[in-house]
Amino acid sequence: MRAILCCALLAWSIALPGAAGAQASANVSTLDPAYRDLEKLIAYGLLNSVQMGQRPFSRVDFANFIKAARLRVKSLHPPHAFTILERLEHRFSREVSLLGTPDDPVRPSIRPLETLRFELVQAMSPDRPVRDQFFGVVSATINPLLGYREGRKPVDGTTAALETTHEIRLAKQLVLYAHPRLQLTEGREATPNLNRVSIQEAYATLLLGNFSLLVGRANQVWGQGRQAGLLISSNARGFDMVKVTNQEPRVLPWVFRLLGPTKGTLFFATTAADRDRHFLNSYMLGYKVTIQPFQWLEFGGSYLLESGGRGAPEATLGDRIVDHIFILSWPAREANLQFSNKIVGVEFRATLPGGVQVYGEGAWDDVTSTQVSRWFNQDSGWLLGFYAPRLERSGRVDLAFEYHFSGIRLYRHGQFLTGLAVDDRLFGNILGPEGRAGYVEMHFDVSRENTIGVHAAYEGRSLDEYETPERGVRVKVRALPQERRYRTVGSWTYRPMRQPIVFKAIAGYERVNTFDFAVGDDRDNWIGQIQLEWRF
């Protein structure tokens, strides 16, 4: 059904013209605090049909959200709603002003320096590898204190980094964007230095009718978690890809109109830049459809696949085509489709009265239609969450709670030995395979310009021993000590309303028992970080 919906969506998108005044723009980082402001506007009832399962949104998207919310806001709304709108209007003032003249041509422009960001991280938090199991491998490290940074790699020690962003608008429908990073480090003890210049993002965005074509390296998140999507999160860097998505959710024709506003994304990516990959030059294919049958309910389904590459299992063109279409490959995989690494996901988000949100995700790694017993444990991952964006009437305080579970095979693979990771970072949940976790997160807008956040976590990871007495059956034969982590991280964000700067400070502590499953190796990790961003 997902493949059929994707095809119908793309055909419908091509047939329809784009929205009046539609224009290309760069994306807003999935780590930007503007997303929290957006959720507040949704909680106030100022926005409808905002689908959070496919991020990032572009700057023009945010400008449209601001415009829609400004038309709905009334004097009966709490003062904090007006504060948020004012803050976002200042943040995206250029895009908001362009919306006011949709029929005027947009002249080519160059922003040689759009933002400048300095970051200093002092940490005592070593990486540890995800350990192999006899049924699968993933080449990645785990370091929660330094994770969910869109592929940035601070070291166990001192890291100083400078980032800039640059934009060239060649036409109303075409924008070029670049985001390089310079990093200098001084590792602790045996930690190697990681001094380098890297490309966080570099892409071109072209609007064609009602859909957007992106070519290059770009970050994205598929999922409902505060930070983690089980398939694609903000933990790893973005794919080097060609991506097509409809510019705004559309109601499809015929009986598909019952699905409500629908958004689809399809991408094809290369792993050529990852020179440590097990099968060099393999490719990634992913697609996702999100529907909103009711204003308060969002559903999504996604499919991610890695195949090909130097030395990878061979397959015919016909088998590859079947393999790439989930509704065909799932029942057929037991027969002859054993030449790729696949993961499928489903998700939902329900917005209840008062803006309270209940959400969840499920992911299945290489599971087949004949292995029902493993659907909910060994081959799967789960995320259940609760978010109250208005813990009190004004909306200045919000609270989130999440429970995560990951099975023993999640992200691992027996042939594609890099697993679902890139550049040593997992695509999805930093919990990795064989884990359970609980997270609590609270933010408090102390004033118009200052926000304090607190994040607390418990994570337990296992490396138990299993045997396979018969094909498709795995039985635990020995339970080993777990690695357990207890973590608290506090943050302070300063965003002056009339100044183009953002300052953020982070301090955190983590207690690790049985580090890397070594009994008696207990550790105290910590992090201190400051970052300052100027917007020109």
User: What is the DSSP annotation of 232-250?
Assistant: B-SSSPPEEEEEEEESS-E
Query: Is residue 222 within a helix (H) or strand (E), and if so which, with residue range?
Result: strand 221-222
Query: Is residue 322 within a helix (H) or strand (E), and if so which, with residue range?
Result: helix 317-324
Residue 105: pLDDT over 80: no
Q: d(Cα 151, Cα 427) in Å, to the nearest integer?
A: 10
Residue 16: pLDDT over 60: no
Bigger pLDDT: 294 vs 327:
294
Residue 327: pLDDT over 70: no
Nearest 10 degrees: Cα torsion 30, 59, 240, 202: -110
Per-residue pLDDT, 13: 47
pLDDT bucket at 102, cuts 50 / 70 / 90: low
Bigger pLDDT: 401 vs 11:
401
What's the chain's length in residues? 536
Helices 2-15 and 326-336 pack at an angle, to 10 degrees, of 140
**pLDDT tens digits along 504-524:** 999 999 999 999 999 999 999
Q: What is the three-class DSSP state of 366?
A: coil
Q: Is 350 exposed, middle or buried (0-12, 13-18, 19+ CB in 10 A)?
A: middle
List all residues 6 or more positions away from 530 whose beta carbon is below 8 Å from its beta carbon: 119, 120, 503, 504, 505, 506
Q: d(Cα 343, Cα 410) in Å, to the nearest integer?
A: 9
CB 301 within 8 A of CB 289: yes
Residues linked to residue 182 through DSSP beta bridges, in sequence order: 162, 197
pTM of the model: 0.91
Per-residue pLDDT, 9: 47
Q: What is the three-class DSSP state of 29?
A: coil
pLDDT bucket at 109, cuts 50 / 70 / 90: confident
- Classify strands 174-187 and 211-218 as parallel, antiparallel or unpaired: unpaired
Q: d(Cα 290, Cα 263) in Å, to the nearest integer?
A: 5
Residue 18: pLDDT over 60: no
Kindly state the average pLDDT of the residues 432-439: 96
Phi/psi of residue 413, nearest 5 degrees: -155, 150
CB 65 within 8 A of CB 41: yes
Q: Which two structure tokens, joined as six digits, stand for 411?
A: 């992200």
Per-residue pLDDT, 15: 43
Closest CA to 264 of 43, 14, 515: 14
Kindly state the average pLDDT of the residues 12-23: 56
Rounded to the nearest integer, the mean pLDDT of the chain is 89
Q: Which two structure tokens, joined as six digits, stand for 186?
A: 């001084």
Residue 17: pLDDT over 60: no
Query: Is residue 98 within a helix (H) or strand (E), and if so which, with residue range?
Result: helix 93-99
Buried b (16+ CB within 10 A) or exposed e, 264-298: bbbbebbbeebeebbbeebbbbbbbbbbbeeeeeb
Residue 149: pLDDT over 60: yes
Q: What is the three-class DSSP state of 229?
A: coil
Residue 101: pLDDT over 80: no
Q: d(Cα 155, Cα 122) in Å, to the nearest integer?
A: 9
**pLDDT tens digits along 244-290:** 999 888 898 889 899 999 999 999 999 999 988 999 999 999 999 99
